[in-house]
Structure 1
Amino acid sequence: MARSGLAYPDRFFAAATYAGFGTHSSSNSNSKFSNDVALLLYALYHQATAGPCTVPKPRGWSPVEQSKWTSWHGLGNMASIEAMRLFVKILEEEDPGWYSRASNFISDPVVDVEMNVELATKNEITLPETKTIPTENGNSVNKDVMVDAVGSVTVYDQWVAPLVSGPKPRPRYEHAAAVVDDKMYVFGGNHNGRYLNDLQTLDLRNWTWSKVEVKASSEDPVRVTPCAGHSLIPWEGNKLISIAGHSKDASEVVNVKAFDLQTNTWSTMKTNGKPPVSRGGQSVTPVGSNLVIFGGQDGNRTFLNDLHILDLETMTWDEIDTIGVSPSPRSDHAAAVHAERFLLIFGGGTHATCFNDLHVLDLKTMEWSRPIQQGEILSPRAGHAGVTVGESWFIVGGGDNKSGVSETVVLNMSTLSWSVVKTVQGRVPLASEGLSLVLSSYNGEDILVSFGGYNGKYNNDVNLLKPSHKSTLQATKSATPAHDSGSGAQNATNGTRDADVEFDLGQDAKVREISMDNNEPQIIEINEVSERSIAVLKAEKEELESALNNEKLQSLQLKQELKEAESKNADLYKELQSVRGQLAAEQSRCFKLEVDVAELRQKLQAMDTLQKEVEILQRQKAASEEAFAKQKQSSGGVWGWLAGSPPPAQKPNDV
């Protein structure tokens, strides 16, 4: 933290005194902190001032002394500067206003290093459980992070493994997880190449695993097919929706099934419209009452980049035509929505390639863009998992077909800036592909809970992290959308904010320097320097505010043009719908004409046959008439024969 006071050692001693670790503290000065926080502060303070714990473990001491020794010894060889940083950071997170109050009673920056023997209360406390988590510091040994009986983490931005009870689920990856009423539900997945269809639940209040006994419904006796690569979405407070996924008995289209948490029954949800082709490894992102589905891999191992929306109110599918350059076909990517308008797609992969690109879809205009990413350059990955906490999008795990990704990263969705939260070492579940990540809360604070994954072996471990990025983090004051965060308006806003920060820091430094020195000429000189700095900063601030106003005017003009374009687009869309209606009517009429033509062709073929028969009869008739005429000429006719007329005399030539 920039505010941790590492540049000002007196701030650390002020923090130690205020927390109750100096001679100026009273016996109850740290009573506002919980026992585990007080123990951790005690351990960090002694680590920073005296170094690693070399005191033998107490044998006959009280549980309080046992706990203090365990806390200090658990830090191992943590560097003193790291202990000092964590000490001030934790104190500021627990009580942001500590420094102003501590300054009122600190007269000497050098304080006694002996801790007040009494803790927050005189009640005996039990030893906390510890779990070793690898750190990103290669030269330091592993640090023990304390977890209380129900898994409450006492350190921010640290992955810990809580103590869980109950029968643990079978190790798996490519499963799906969701949280409903402080319970994490895990459904399906892949274990040793076999698809699973069990439903497991982890109670996030007491960290107890249990298997959900699925019942058969008389109305819809659905037997859920084992699957992996599917998505699980909470719905209506008491249902879970399972969408898509790979299975051995795959259908041609995406199936939607619902699990009722009250009756413990599965049912098939009937949908309207044209459903997407069956797939797995897709992303399903809730946006209001809609589910936005992107990409995945179909049953023929073909990678997809199509976009579909399922309206949960009408249960109607709609395939969306987008503009701009869409992401390349992929699966096992991560997706999130920002401000209920922008869909973010990060990473993913194909059979041989993994990606680290970031794409943004404006769900209002249905236009894809590929913004420039700020901050850390992330390695390509697929099979990672992500959740959003306010403006922050946390990404955990994944791999690149060679090794697992060890960093837990976070993206500020307003500035599109990446930063690394935590790095783990070794082949641990957090560096796995196909793990799940959900967001829950404990004691009013957000926690990230990961489960499972595959990194050479199948895992069923639970890890959790308490992020220092709060869920109440507000969006930046700039109205610039996420994919335009690099514009001048955003820069102007940041510039003004930086000027304000520098102004405040200048004032703070001025006050501290004056309080540290009672020499009046020095005070005057510092005041003159500060006043000149303030004047320069004010001038820069006014200049930036002027630039910001200009940017705001341009933004208003662009918004007006956008409204006009949207209005024209709406009219064109209506006209397009009308043309589509006319086209449908013409297509229907054309179909009827084709049917009539087919019937006429059949009749025409019949007429051709009749015509040929008539011609044959006519020829036969003509031949009969000709023969009859010859016979008549040779016999004098019928009437001559009847009258007894003699036949004509033969001519000599006839002999």
Structure 2
Amino acid sequence: MWKQHSPELGTQPRRWGHSVCLVAREFLVVWGGLKDGDMCDDLHIYHLSTRRWKSVDTSGERPSPRWGASLSPHPSNAWAAVLLGGRQGSKPMPLSEYFVLDLADMSWARYDVASLEDARKRRPDAWGGLPQPHGVAASGCPKNRYTHTAVTRYLDKQVLVYGGHGGRTRYFSDVGVLQLPGSKAAEERVTHTLAGGGFILPTACSSATAALPAGEGESVGGSDDGAVWLPVRCSGSAPPRRSGHASAVVGEHLVVSGGYNGKAVLSDLWLLHMPTLRWDECKLQAGALPPLTGHSLVAVPHSPLLVVFGGSTSRSRLSLAAYLLDVDARAASAVTPRLSPSARFWHRSVHVDGPGDRGSMLMLGGVGASGTALGDLFTLDLDTLTRSALAAALRAAGGSVPARLADAARKEAEARREKAEAPAEPAAGGAAAASRDAPCWLEDSAAIYGAPASSLAMGNGDVPSGSAALDALTE
């Protein structure tokens, strides 16, 4: 189920604690991180289809060398990514600024982030009408940090940040919402949801997000320079503070797994319901996850499933295990894919399209038991993984098969049979489009569990004109 990839051209970067983002479904962007004790600020791009790597020179005001920064797809620009935080030397970097990498011209741009209080003074026409949630300060922004997690909310032009390390004994469990300039519709939704004394995020992302054109209507701030940190108040019991955790989006929930709190490696699991910003602990009813930090967490499309891989279980022990996590059934099971990569942590994993309906988890780099930065690239076939795990669950159930598993098995068998009997016709838009449109074994849950982030508002793979670096990768 694991497959190691060797590049057709170029050299894979050896790196750990690096920042990774999938842009336009086809380009894996790798920036910064640590290599042999040195902090990096170089940019590498990998084209999934041609399996070519390229080290790219960039222009503009690029970020300083750092590790532990987040790199997220830009919600308004399908060819850009947003960099936040990180650590330079012993110094956590501020979240009062962010950087945008634009692959169209291979340029960096730096922007300051205002607090809502400052934004009201500077742009009363845009922000003066936003109500202030009771008991939540409008001044300031999330504190300097690294090894946090960040996810993009395309519909509302936001990047949601959770947790992280502020240096020394400072660990965080706060949620920050960076509101980027976007469409007029997004501005109206944010204004509406700030009303009533509390900040409530609108409905979670869905495939309909991709239909919203970037820059539709009048933008909130006019450019990326108009971003603000919104005041946030969560309900429920908040998770303990942590850094080095892993996060992924499943349906309307942000799933947070493990991490380190300065004293111990954590094994707990938390769900943040994003429409209401309510926290709940997800206590597993079957199976268990070990304490993990520096691991990865990737959601399986259109399902309540996630894949956990790698990480450190203590200061001296690394994990090479993979776990399949079901947040609906509140169950976890260890899986043993063939040809597993070596034990590691501080690697990076993302979801990519193909080869099957559920796509694959792509994993790059990390640091191994010897302390050496790794540069290998693997993919894990999620179709095979979930099918094997489902078969194992059915065998374990014996004669008493849960209705949910039986129905899933039936749909799985029907989908495979229909696929085998169907004539081989090329789908419009190529193999990637065929993979995205194909039915999956939990097709009835598509309305509940959104598509992976890699398929939301991220372009169609057409290279921007004039981009010599991307042309060299795809030609």
Q: Deviations over 1:146-198 (max 9, x none)?
A: xxxxxxxxxxxx11212213332442111011112311111110123321111
Alignment of 1:166 with 2:79, yes or no, is no
- Post-superposition offset of 1:403: 1.4
Alignment of 1:411 with 2:255, yes or no, is no
Q: Describe the shift of the 1:495–1:441 C-alpha distance in structure 2 as closer, same or farther (beyond 3 A).
A: closer
Contact 2:320 2:341 in 1 (8 A): no
- Post-superposition offset of 1:279: 0.4
Which runs of no fewer than 5 residues in structure 2 stay unpaired?
116-139, 183-219, 221-226, 387-400, 412-475
Contact 1:429 1:453 in 2 (8 A): no
Alignment of 1:318 with 2:230, yes or no, is yes
Alignment of 1:225 with 2:68, yes or no, is no
Amino acid at match of 2:310: G
- Post-superposition offset of 1:228: 0.5
Q: How far apart are the structure 2 equivalents of 1:502 and 1:271?
A: 49
Name the larger-Rg structure.
1
Amino acid at match of 1:415: A
Q: How far apart are the structure 2 equivalents of 1:385 and 1:170?
A: 19
Instruction: Give the corresponding residue for 2:188.
Output: none
Q: Describe the shift of the 1:239–1:300 C-alpha distance in structure 2 as closer, same or farther (beyond 3 A).
A: same
Contact 1:429 1:454 in 2 (8 A): no
Alignment of 1:256 with 2:98, yes or no, is yes
Alignment of 1:138-217 (within 5 A): 158-181=1-24, 182-216=26-60
Amino acid at match of 1:282: H
Alignment of 1:437-452 (within 5 A): 437-443=349-355, 445=357, 446-452=359-365
Aligned to 2:382, the other structure's residue is in SS state coil
- Post-superposition offset of 1:466: 1.1
More helix by proportion, 1 or 2?
Answer: 1
- Post-superposition offset of 1:430: 4.6
Instruction: Give the corresponding residue for 1:593.
Output: none
Instruction: Give the corresponding residue for 1:243.
Output: 84
Aligned length: 318
- Post-superposition offset of 1:450: 0.6
Instruction: Give the corresponding residue for 2:375.
Output: 460
Amino acid at match of 2:325: L
Q: How far apart are the structure 1 equivalents of 2:250 and 2:92?
A: 33
Amino acid at match of 2:234: T
Q: Please point out which of 367, 373, 388 is paired with 2:284.
A: 373
Q: How far apart are the structure 1 equivalents of 2:266 and 2:295?
A: 11
Alignment of 1:19-34 (within 5 A): none
- Post-superposition offset of 1:502: 12
Instruction: Give the corresponding residue for 2:253.
Output: 342
Q: How far apart are the structure 2 equivalents of 1:348 and 1:300?
A: 16
Contact 1:255 1:278 in 2 (8 A): no
CA RMSD of superposed structures (Å): 2.9
Aligned to 1:296, the other structure's residue is in SS state strand
Q: Describe the shift of the 1:353–1:503 C-alpha distance in structure 2 as closer, same or farther (beyond 3 A).
A: closer
Q: Deviations over 1:509-565 (max 9, x none)?
A: xxxxxxxxxxxxxxxxxxxxxxxxxxxxxxxxxxxxxxxxxxxxxxxxxxxxxxxxx
Q: How far apart are the structure 2 equivalents of 1:501 and 1:260?
A: 41
Q: Deviations over 1:561-597 (max 9, x none)?
A: xxxxxxxxxxxxxxxxxxxxxxxxxxxxxxxxxxxxx
Q: Please point out which of 275, 296, 302 is paired with 1:385.
A: 296
Q: How far apart are the structure 1 equivalents of 2:68 and 2:342?
A: 18
Alignment of 1:433 with 2:276, yes or no, is no
Q: How far apart are the structure 1 equivalents of 2:382 and 2:312?
A: 23
Amino acid at match of 2:59: K
Q: Deviations over 1:453-476 (max 9, x none)?
A: 0122210111111112699xxxxx
- Post-superposition offset of 1:443: 4.9
Amino acid at match of 2:236: G
Amino acid at match of 2:287: E
Contact 2:356 2:383 in 1 (8 A): no
- Post-superposition offset of 1:255: 2.7
Amino acid at match of 2:66: C
Q: How far apart are the structure 1 equivalents of 2:85 and 2:405?
A: 47
Alignment of 1:354 with 2:269, yes or no, is no
Q: How far apart are the structure 2 equivalents of 1:499 and 1:194?
A: 52
Q: How far apart are the structure 2 equivalents of 1:434 and 1:345?
A: 16
- Post-superposition offset of 1:253: 3.9
Q: How far apart are the structure 2 equivalents of 1:265 and 1:204?
A: 22
Q: How far apart are the structure 2 equivalents of 1:268 and 1:327?
A: 32
Which runs of no fewer than 5 residues in structure 1 stay unpaired?
1-157, 217-221, 472-493, 505-655
Q: How far apart are the structure 2 equivalents of 1:463 and 1:501?
A: 28
Amino acid at match of 1:309: V
TM-score (norm 1): 0.45
Q: Describe the shift of the 1:283–1:251 C-alpha distance in structure 2 as closer, same or farther (beyond 3 A).
A: closer
Instruction: Give the corresponding residue for 1:488.
Output: none
Q: Deviations over 1:290-337 (max 9, x none)?
A: 222111001344111111111223522124222322111110101122
Q: Describe the shift of the 1:438–1:252 C-alpha distance in structure 2 as closer, same or farther (beyond 3 A).
A: closer
Q: How far apart are the structure 1 equivalents of 2:367 and 2:409?
A: 47
Q: How far apart are the structure 2 equivalents of 1:364 and 1:500?
A: 29
Aligned to 1:468, the other structure's residue is in SS state helix
Give aligned-pair identity as a percent.
22
Alignment of 1:585-596 (within 5 A): none
Q: Describe the shift of the 1:363–1:168 C-alpha distance in structure 2 as closer, same or farther (beyond 3 A).
A: same
Q: How far apart are the structure 2 equivalents of 1:499 and 1:240?
A: 41
